[in-house]
């Protein structure tokens, strides 16, 4: 049983998964998400939360609930698009295992708290015919040359994940589909059963497609393809994994009023159902991230600058060379911290930032390990001095690189210059009074120009 994250979005009661329908409307951020007030998370509604600053969220009543039509068993994931001045949701209705696209329009335009479903749902009557599909769900929509384009996630048996493209003049009548991209045209994830939650958007001088690869083995990974998009054709130039923490899934992004591309992702809860039931909540959303293209054409996602507003009392250490003995960065109250390290030259084989829980139950530690001469970044959770979880991916730490880590009870997010972020439930699970922070280097010297620690606080 672990404590509820205090700064990450969780459902008011029990189950949360994918972020949905993200939009900034009349200045306010609207976050919908897959919600079930029961712990098993079997019958999905659209939960709804709003914020003025991406930091403090206020829960509103459920926006969409299963009805008596094609969504009788669930209102699954989708997006919001503004059509003729009215926010309009495209989502997947589920009835008897059949997944079909449905539409709903906002009828209360202040808080977007009341939605009316289109009476002739579904808007596409069947999945693309003549193919053996492993699923047909989740939507991303944009307006192009006066026409709506929609991508729907799917998978073709024997081929793997794929995304279909549809066109419509009005969001209601959709022409025949074409294949937008299949796993066989990419290097990644050919073994996946289907691609869920497509998200497609322009970024810099490129376009980016993010899909959540659902494997036949139950594995889940978030893939990101950057390339060129012309005349309805997407040519992939680069592929990457969006987050190496092993828990970041089904992300969705939107453009805010300042023109920033902001992304939210779901962190699935690794606890068993009984433990989740007893704790009253399940799953969290990762902190919002700004998505951008870097100088090398790679997609980067960094925490939104608004998160600086959570910084409270701080403690700072500067100018240290780390030999084998750990740098003790003190004891800190509670389990909500942000830590930032700016490195100088690193000649070490590995550098470890360790957060050790004190005053709780069994000894527990969560660490960010920069390993293999800092070419690999890993999150690790240790209990009773045994590693119980570890996940990571490639990194390339240059002098001057920064490592930024957020700890919010069980949730950790690590952002590394020169590597993809790592997010997940690798944090401190027990009720802990204090956290001891230390940094150590093995097999050589690591120079630390500066290390700062802040307590997180709600502004």
Catalytic residues: 18
Cα 108 → chain centroid: 29
Of 170-199, which residues contact ligand FRU (CB under 6 A)?
Answer: 196-197
How many positions of this chain bind ligand FRU (CB under 6 A)?
A: 12
Considering the complex, state which of residue 92 and residue 121 has its C-beta at the smaller distance from ligand FRU.
92
Cα 293 → chain centroid: 17
Q: Closest approach of Cβ 222 to ligand FRU, in Å?
A: 11
Considering the complex, state which of residue 55 and residue 156 has its C-beta at the smaller distance from ligand FRU.
156
By the rule CB under 6 A, 154 interacts with ligand FRU = no
Q: What is the CA radius of gyration of the chain?
A: 22
Q: Closest approach of Cβ 124 to ligand FRU, in Å?
A: 15
Is residue 329 within 8 A of residue 402, CB to CB? The reply is no
By the rule CB under 6 A, 140 interacts with ligand FRU = no
* Selected binder of ligand FRU within 3, 10, 15, 18 (CB under 6 A): 18
By the rule CB under 6 A, 137 interacts with ligand FRU = yes
Q: Closest approach of Cβ 153 to ligand FRU, in Å?
A: 6
Q: Where are the alpha helices (DSSP H) in 222-372?
A: 273-279
376 vs 12, 110, 311, 344, 370, CA distance in Å? Answer: 37, 47, 28, 18, 6
Considering the complex, state which of residue 5 and residue 74 has its C-beta at the smaller distance from ligand FRU.
74
* Selected binder of ligand FRU within 3, 45, 77, 440 (CB under 6 A): 77
Q: Closest approach of Cβ 79 to ligand FRU, in Å?
A: 11
322 strand-pairing partners = 446
Q: Closest approach of Cβ 285 to ligand FRU, in Å?
A: 12
| Number of Cβ atoms within 10 Å of the Cβ of 417 | 17
Of 66, 64, 62, 36, nearest in space to 49 by CA? 62
Which contacts qualify for 378-387: CB closer than 8 Å, 24 or more apart?
378/422, 379/245, 379/412, 379/414, 379/422, 379/424, 379/426, 380/426, 381/426, 381/427, 381/429
* Selected binder of ligand FRU within 103, 163, 250, 391 (CB under 6 A): 250
By the rule CB under 6 A, 364 interacts with ligand FRU = no
7 vs 235, 249, 392, CA distance in Å? Answer: 39, 19, 24
* Selected binder of ligand FRU within 3, 34, 140, 430 (CB under 6 A): 34
By the rule CB under 6 A, 413 interacts with ligand FRU = no
By the rule CB under 6 A, 45 interacts with ligand FRU = no
**Secondary structure of residue 183 in the 3-state scheme:** helix
* Selected binder of ligand FRU within 2, 76, 254, 415 (CB under 6 A): 76
Distance CA 248, CA 267 (A): 5
| Chain positions contacting ligand FRU, by CB under 6 A | 17-18, 34, 44, 76-77, 92, 137-138, 196-197, 250
């Amino acid at each position: 049983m672990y404590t509820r994250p205090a700064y990450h979005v969780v459902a008011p009661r029990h189950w949360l998964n994918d972020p949905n329908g993200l939009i900034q409307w009349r200045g306010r951020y609207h976050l919908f998400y897959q919600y079930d007030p029961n712990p098993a998370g079997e019958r999905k509604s659209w939960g709804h939360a709003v914020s003025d600053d991406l930091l403090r969220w206020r829960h509103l009543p459920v926006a969409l609930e299963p009805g008596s039509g094609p969504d009788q068993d669930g209102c699954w994931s989708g997006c919001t698009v503004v059509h003729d001045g009215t926010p309009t949701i495209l989502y997947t209705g589920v009835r008897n295992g059949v997944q079909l696209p449905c539409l709903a329009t906002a009828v209360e335009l202040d808080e977007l708290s009341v939605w009316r479903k289109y009476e002739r749902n579904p808007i596409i009557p069947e999945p693309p015919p003549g193919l053996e599909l492993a699923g047909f769900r989740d939507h991303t929509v944009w307006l192009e040359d006066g026409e709506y384009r929609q991508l729907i996630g799917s998978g073709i048996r024997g081929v793997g994940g794929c995304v279909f493209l549809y066109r419509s003049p009005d969001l209601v009548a959709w022409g025949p589909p074409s294949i937008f991209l299949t796993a066989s045209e990419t290097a990644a994830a050919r073994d996946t059963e289907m691609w869920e939650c497509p998200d497609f958007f322009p970024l810099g001088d490129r376009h980016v497609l993010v899909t959540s690869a659902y494997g036949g083995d139950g594995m889940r990974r978030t893939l990101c393809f950057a390339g060129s998009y012309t005349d309805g054709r997407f040519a992939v130039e680069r592929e990457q994994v969006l987050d190496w923490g092993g828990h970041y899934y089904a992300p969705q992004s939107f453009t805010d009023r300042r023109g920033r591309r902001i992304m939210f992702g779901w962190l699935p809860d690794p606890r068993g159902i009984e433990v989740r039931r007893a704790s009253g909540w399940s799953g969290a959303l990762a902190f919002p991230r700004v998505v951008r293209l870097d100088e090398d054409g790679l997609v980067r996602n960094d925490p939104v600058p608004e998160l600086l507003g959570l910084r409270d009392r701080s403690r700072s250490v500067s100018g240290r060379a780390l030999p084998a003995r750990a740098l003790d960065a003190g004891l800190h109250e509670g389990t909500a911290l942000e830590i930032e390290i700016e490195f100088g030259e690193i000649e070490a084989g590995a550098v470890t930032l360790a957060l050790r829980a004190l005053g709780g139950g069994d000894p527990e530690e969560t660490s960010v390990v920069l390993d293999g001469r800092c070419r690999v970044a890993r999150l690790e959770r240790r209990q009773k001095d045994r590693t119980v979880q570890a996940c990571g991916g490639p990194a390339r730490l240059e002098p001057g690189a920064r490592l930024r880590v957020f700890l919010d009870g069980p949730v950790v997010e690590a952002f590394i210059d020169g590597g993809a972020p790592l997010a997940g439930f690798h944090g401190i699970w027990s009720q802990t009074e204090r956290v001891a922070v230390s940094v150590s280097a093995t097999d050589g010297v690591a120079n630390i120009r500066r290390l700062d620690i802040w307590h997180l606080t709600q502004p």
